[in-house]
Amino acid sequence: MRGMSALSTPFQVSTFCWFAFEVSLLVRDLVRRKVRPSRDRGTRLIVSLSLGGAIVLGWLLHGWVPASSTPAPNAFALAGLVVIWIGLALRIWAVLALGGSFSTYIQVEGDQTVVTRGPYRWVRHPSYTGLLLIALGFGIGAGSWLSLLICAIVPLLGLLPRIAVEESELVRVLGEQYRSYQTTTHRLVPGLW
Write out the DSSP string of the chain.
-TT-GGGHHHHHHHHHHHHHHHHHHHHHHHHH--SSPP--TTHHHHHHHHHHHHHHHHHHHHHH-GGGBPSSHHHHHHHHHHHHHHHHHHHHHHHHHHGGG--SS----TT-----SGGGGTBS-HHHHHHHHHHHHHHHHTTBHHHHHHHHHHHHHHHHHHHHHHHHHHHHHHTHHHHHHHHHSBSSSTTT-
pTM score: 0.90
Average pLDDT over residues 174-183: 93
Ranked by mean pLDDT, which of 1-10, 30-39, 94-103 comes out on top? 94-103
Q: What does the pLDDT look like over 120-154, one tens digit per residue?
A: 999 999 999 999 999 999 999 988 899 999 999 99
pLDDT for res 2: 47
Pick the CATH number of 74-100+109-193 from 3.30.70.141, 3.40.50.620, 1.20.1250.20, 1.20.120.1630: 1.20.120.1630
pLDDT for res 158: 96
pLDDT for res 72: 83
Domain ranges of the chain: 74-100+109-193
